[in-house]
Amino acid sequence: MWLTETDQRTFLDGRVREALSAAGHDQLVLDLAGIERAYEALTGELPGVAVRFAMKACPVDEVLTCLASRGAGFDAASPDEIVQALATGTRPGLIHYGNTVKSDENIAEAYRLGVRDFATDSVEDVLAIAANAPGARVFCRLATTGAGALWGLGRKYGCAGTDAIQVMLTARRHGLIPAGLSVHVGSQQMTVEAWHDAFERLADVLVALSLQGVHIDHVNLGGGLPAAGYLDKAGNPLLPPIEEMFAALREGMLRLRRLAGRQLAFVVEPGRHLVAEHGAIRAHVSRLSSRRQLTGVHEKWLYLSCGKFNGLYETDMLRYRLVFPGHRDGEHIPAIVAGPTCDSDDVFSDGLAFAQVPQAAESGDPVWILACGAYSMSYTTRGFNGFAPLPITVLRP
């Protein structure tokens, strides 16, 4: 989608615009001041709730240090992420191992590094934690449908409520502390109903555990909080009902506290919600070309220097807003947008959607791609087809 000047002021921070304008080569620009504002807004909406940033969304040292300085801890999914989190000066007690998939070696290394809070969703994993992280605290992840999210995170993670009870009882029998429950409503969740459903599941298991004498001390509400600034595959703005979501979270937490009848802490694991809107990519046009398909359909294709394998992996489910700074005037035409690699999967929106692009676009023209602060760095390959990962420019407050 091509943006007017008014749109650009809405979706493009002035500092980021200046950095993109000054850039002479492709790069990812991250704005720490914007990330700080997002963190303060989140903690204002959910006072008293502990934030554990989902590192996978933007594992950039400067971003992690910035969030740690504001009081955030970290949701880590591997020993290497734990090491990176500790390098910010964060205490191990503010880092949890949030991945339910982990080997014996992973568990032992995390324990050696000082982590004592582990996510789990199976008896087998609990037994491995007991053997390799004795006395650790575990929180059991409940399965959700993922309905309403762009990425539902379906069957790989989480267990049914009946299994969760057995998992927590097993943890207690083997010397672990059955400390909490967790959910994840799916990445870029777009509905309030998903949160209502998650709280229903949490409430049922919390009560059932209480009847078994297991009294948890916290609930981890996971990730899923959405970002603005994206488009859907058809090019329409994705407008999540974020205020209603926060209201549902506050209401749900109050209900769980009443059910628990005791002190109950809460944790959230935001990722893209904190960083997506505060990053942008400066790329360039490789070629605007026209070709006729075997069906006889004539198509325009805009090939960019950045695609699925070097920063824009998530174009399978969403579209980014595009700015063509050298073509503010002039005719725009519909074109399919694709990345530079010799791979047929390197096509935005599966090649089924058209973007409005400048008819006069030429090879080398700069293109700004907005709301790229989440996953652009972490999903990139090490250099597929010889196209290197984007260098990163960090704008400090």
Q: Quickly list DSSP for 21-55.
A: HH-SS-EEEEEHHHHHHHHHHHHHHSTT-EEEEEG
Radius of gyration of the chain (CA): 22
pTM across the whole model: 0.95
C-alpha to C-alpha distance for 287 and 121, rounded to whole angstroms = 48
Average confidence (pLDDT) over 290-310:
95
Nearest CA among 106, 108, 71 for reference residue 90: 71
Stretch 357-381: mean pLDDT, rounded? 96
The mean predicted confidence, pLDDT, of the chain is 95
Map tokens 């943006």 to a residue: 3
Task: Please indicate, yes or no, whether residues 83 and 199 belong to a single structural domain of this protein.
Answer: yes
Alpha-carbon distance 22 to 5, whole Å?
A: 18
**59 and 169 fall within a common domain:** yes
Confidence of residue 117 (pLDDT cuts 50, 70, 90): very high
pLDDT reported for residue 262: 86
User: pLDDT tens digits for 128-166?
Assistant: 999 999 999 999 999 999 999 999 987 899 999 999 999
In a domain, 211, yes or no: yes
Residue 21 domain-assigned?
no
185 versus 330: which is more confidently predicted?
A: 185
User: Is 22 within a domain?
Assistant: no
268 within domain boundaries: yes
* Higher per-residue pLDDT: 81 or 9: 81
Q: Are residues 190 and 304 in the same domain?
A: no
**Assigned domain for 19 exists:** no
Q: Looking at the structure, tell me whether residues 234 and 321 fall in a common domain.
A: no
Q: How many helices (H) and strands (E) does the chain have?
A: 11, 18
* Residue 266 confidence class, pLDDT cut points 50, 70, 90: very high
User: Does the residue 36 lie in any domain?
Assistant: yes
Distance, CA of 50 to CA of 180 (rounded, Å): 14
Q: What's the CATH number where 386 sits?
A: 2.40.37.10
Task: For residues 245 and 264, state if they share a domain.
Answer: yes
Does 99 share its domain with 116?
yes
What pLDDT does 233 receive? 81
Give per-residue pLDDT as tens, 22-79.
Answer: 999 999 999 999 999 999 999 999 999 999 999 999 999 999 999 999 999 999 999 9
Q: Token pair of 90, please?
A: 């964060």
Residues 300 and 260 in one domain: no
Catalytic residues: 342
What local confidence, expressed as pLDDT, does residue 234 receive?
81
Question: What are the tokens at 313?
Answer: 């992996």
Q: Are residues 129 and 250 in the same domain?
A: yes
Whole-angstrom distance, CA of residue 378 vs CA of residue 174: 36
What is the distance between the alpha carbons of residues 383 and 278, in angstroms, rounded to a whole number?
A: 25
CATH code where residue 40 lies: 3.20.20.10
Question: Cα separation of 3 and 235, whole Å?
Answer: 12
The verdict on residue 291 lying in a domain is yes
Q: What is the pLDDT of residue 260?
A: 95
Q: Which of 312, 377, 383, 390 is nearest to 346 (CA)?
A: 312
The pLDDT, as a whole number, for residue 3 is 54
Q: Identify whether residues 195 and 109 lie together within a single domain.
A: yes
- Percentage of residues of the chain with pLDDT beyond 70: 97
> What band does 9 get if pLDDT is binned at 50, 70 and 90?
low
pLDDT at 119: 98
Same-domain pairing of 337 and 268: no
Cα separation of 196 and 33, whole Å?
A: 32
In the listed set 273, 307, 330, which residue is the last one of a domain according to the structure? 273
pLDDT at 1 over 50: no
The reported pLDDT for the residue numbered 178 is 98
Q: Is residue 2's pLDDT more than 70?
A: no
Collapsing DSSP states into helix, strand and coil, what is residue 77? coil
Query: What is the rounded average pLDDT of the residues 195-212?
Result: 98
Which range of residues forms the domain containing residue 192? 32-273
Can you list the positions of beta strands (E) in 133-236?
Answer: 137-141, 149-151, 177-182, 187-189, 218-220
Quote the pLDDT of residue 8.
57
% of the chain exceeding 90 in pLDDT: 90
Do 58 and 124 have their domain in common? yes
Please give the tally of structural domains in the chain: 2
Say which residue the tokens 């070696």 belong to.
105
pLDDT for the residue 10:
61
Same domain, 289 and 252: no
Domain assignment of residue 380, yes or no:
yes
* Sequence-separated (6 or more) residues with CB below 8 Å from residue 224: 149, 184, 185, 186, 187, 188, 189, 194
Q: Which of 255, 273, 291 is the last residue of a domain?
A: 273
Alpha-carbon gap, residue 397 to 31, rounded angstroms: 8
Q: Say yes or no to pLDDT of 177 above 80.
A: yes
Of 273, 298, 328, which closes a domain? Answer: 273
